[in-house]
Amino acid sequence: MNTILLALGTGILYLIAYQTYGKFLAKRIFKLNSDTPTPAVEQEDGVDFVPTQPEILFGHHYTSIAGAGPIVGPALAIIWGWVPALLWIIFGSILMGAVHDFGALVVSLRNQGKTIGEVAADLISPRVRIMFLSIISLALLIVIAIFCLVIASLFSLYPESVIPIWIEIPIAIWLGRVIYKKKKHALTYSLFALAMLYIAVIIGAYYPIVMPSIELAGVTLNPTVSWTIILLIYAYIASTMPVWCLLQPRDYINGHELFVALGLLTLGVIFSNPTMVAPAYNPTPEGAPSMVPFLFIILACGAVSGFHSLVGSGTTSKQLANEKHALSIGYGSMLLEGMLATFAVIAVGAGIGLMEKNGLTGADLWNHQYASWGAAKGLGAKVGHFVEGSAAMLGSLGIPSNIALTIMGVFVVSFACTTLDSATRLQRYALSELSGGLKIQFLTGRHPATILAVFSGGLLALHDGVGKGGLILWPLFGATNQLLACLALLVITVYLARVGQSLLYTLIPFCFMFLVTGWSMYENMKGYASKGDYMLLAMGGVIVSLEIWMVIEASLALKKNRAIN
């Protein structure tokens, strides 16, 4: 398959979708109005509610929803063939993911910037508030613990990324002060900040930093534990600072970094023109679960992901200065994430074929890398396939291999860091709202709620002593994340019913996602039972029960609202 045409055709489809379906939803269904004051304007507080330039907010929103997801998911899902993976990326993002993200953002805007859990209580029933927030909090707990492990592992895999990642923080703080305090031109100074980042990338390529094991009070801390502790401290500081100080400017830089990476990957595809060495369709790889329904669970970011609704309703809605910006930031960001996922498919499906490892090249190397589910599913394998495949394509541009690897490694780690501190901030919101509902007032404050978020995430991550504790609950995350997407689509559907709009655009995606995620949860629970893993079985049963209860409550709310209209 010609990968140039593959990338070009996908990009054209996304442009057409944005100009047609996206604008139809904005004008006819959600009826965006630039004269309607947004929560960022009405509730501006200089910390969380901050009216923001759309290009800066786009960078924050995109990097928060993406993380490593549109890389890791496609790098594993391609084991079933590049055609089903790419079809789900294209049509899932256009018809489901972008609608989900856009709708969650708009519904939050129309409800004082509340999170999707709070909106569910207002639109469906107060009874669902604690249930929804509990599910959200569990998902975010797992994200915080796992992404500490993800970033620590990436620092070990790509020690060249350590210097650029940590240098970016003071660069971002400087940029935030220049833009918001000195009122300088955002684009000009952000491009200068981007240049400083890439200088740091070159330095990092030649001066990698490897975290040693540390002896502390008679206890040996391995590199993963040490990085986890450092990252949790960072997450606390970053998520309690005003959004203009670090979150926005760093993600603005990362947004530029995204466009540089996509530009380099595009040129890499054009100049190397790699051939797809992955099979087009491979329904029964060794040791893998059934392609249906698990393709739709594993390939989440890049198609549809419940975590996105938490970002859109949790942080983005509090910074949107004009309702009409919701189209590009909500719908457009998801399509751009789909484009990144497409490049991930090309990198792991074709870029790998340009490499030579152990005397293997082309399809032989791909078949070795993806010989079985066990060989392909590890974090190092998935990220490594993308980074190395991408670097091989960048090599066609004359970029030295160590610098190409560092560019792509920093790109992945930057997005993973954004996910970590955004998830910590979102967990603070969820815990504050949950504590308020339970009348535990002292935990509703910014610092107490953040301390609880960081402490609980750290407790899960470190309880095994080696920093991999989050893996215990990780099997629940995939299906839970997609069930969150179902619930967000359901809340948006109830909102549309309340305002008298057609329900089909969100109800059909909800039904599809509810079917495949319910099916996958059932298959997972059978596996937990057969292995005697009763903790996961019990937690899965509780989550499914809460989801079904919420669907029943929402169905009653839908019936009531349709009767009124």
Model confidence at 559, pLDDT cuts 50, 70, 90, reads confident
pLDDT of residue 375 exceeding 80: no
The two tokens of residue 480 are 């839970």
pLDDT of residue 320 exceeding 90: yes
pLDDT of residue 42 exceeding 80: yes
Q: CB-based contacts of 420: which residues, under 8 Å, 6+ apart?
A: 143, 144, 147, 148, 151, 231, 235
The whole-number pLDDT of residue 1 equals: 64
* Percent of residues in the chain assigned helix, strand, coil, to nearest 5: 75, 0, 20
pLDDT digits (tens, 9 = 90+) for 352-372: 999 988 888 999 999 988 988
Model confidence at 564, pLDDT cuts 50, 70, 90, reads low
C-alpha distance from residue 122 to each of 108, 223, 228, 492 (Å): 11, 45, 37, 12
Helix (H) or strand (E) holding 220: strand 219-221
**3-state helix/strand/coil string of 177-193:** HHHHCCCCCHHHHHHHH
Tally Cβ neighbours within 10 Å of residue 319: 28
Q: What span, in angstroms and rounded, lies between the C-alpha atoms of 405 and 123?
A: 48
pLDDT digits (tens, 9 = 90+) for 392-438: 999 999 999 999 999 999 999 998 898 898 999 999 999 998 888 78
Q: From 266, 264, 227, select the one nearest 403 (Cα to Cα).
A: 264
Model confidence at 376, pLDDT cuts 50, 70, 90, reads confident
Q: What span, in angstroms and rounded, lies between the C-alpha atoms of 239 and 241?
A: 6
The whole-number pLDDT of residue 380 equals: 63
pLDDT of residue 214 exceeding 90: no
pTM to 2 decimal places: 0.93
The whole-number pLDDT of residue 506 equals: 97
pLDDT of residue 563 exceeding 60: no
Q: What span, in angstroms and rounded, lies between the C-alpha atoms of 345 and 349?
A: 6
Q: CB-based contacts of 283: which residues, under 8 Å, 6+ apart?
A: 80, 81, 291
pLDDT of residue 565 exceeding 60: no
The whole-number pLDDT of residue 454 equals: 96
Q: What span, in angstroms and rounded, lies between the C-alpha atoms of 408 and 388?
A: 8
pLDDT digits (tens, 9 = 90+) for 494-552: 999 999 999 999 999 999 999 999 999 999 999 999 999 998 999 899 888 888 888 88
Cβ-contact 376, 73 below 8 angstroms: no
Model confidence at 219, pLDDT cuts 50, 70, 90, reads confident
Tell the residue number behind the tokens 């910006």, with chain if given: 325
pLDDT digits (tens, 9 = 90+) for 231-253: 999 999 999 999 999 989 999 99
Mean pLDDT of the chain: 92
* Coil, strand or helix at 400: coil
